[in-house]
Structure 1
Amino acid sequence: MTSLFQILMMILGVARTVILIHFVMSWLISFGVLNMRQPLVAQIWDGLNRLLEPIYGPIRRLLPQMGGIDLSPVVALLGIYALQIILTNNAALFM
């Protein structure tokens, strides 16, 4: 059961990393550091959007409109941190 706990923590860590990469990449695109006309940048951006839309979509429907500010990555990260805390505090159940 310890391996199940470690696998769940690893999955949450990978999800957190992907969300952070998407967040940073969105800022780099917004400020013109990354050009969306480059095929590699466009493919990575499209892949990240397709990967994260099932997570962001329900969160966006719950949050009120913020005038162009998307808080769904922040809420998703807070949810991941909360899950990690819950799993860590209940690690004895996995042993």
Structure 2
Amino acid sequence: MSWIKFALWLSGIYSMYYAAIILWDFFRGGRSPADERSHELSFTEHIEAVQAGPEATAEIYGSSVISSGGVSLKQLFNLAREEAIEFTRPVSF
């Protein structure tokens, strides 16, 4: 038996198998509709929003510096020159 003949037989068997599964699923009528007694779990948790000011941030993180978001690449290199950030690999300026 050659590889081509083996591949053809194998693809034929897989095609028949998947066709039989699809036809069986089609003829059995599909899924039953969900009712109130279905086995679905749902969890809810009451969460209250709290606005954190600068003093709350300093207490939580132990620093008075508040992040203002991302910085541009130029600002990143300026911060690296000023040694305001810690980096682990050498950066060429």
| TM-score, normalization by structure 1 | 0.31
**Structure with higher helix content:** 1
Higher radius of gyration, 1 or 2: 2
Higher relative contact order (CA 8 A, sep 6+): 1
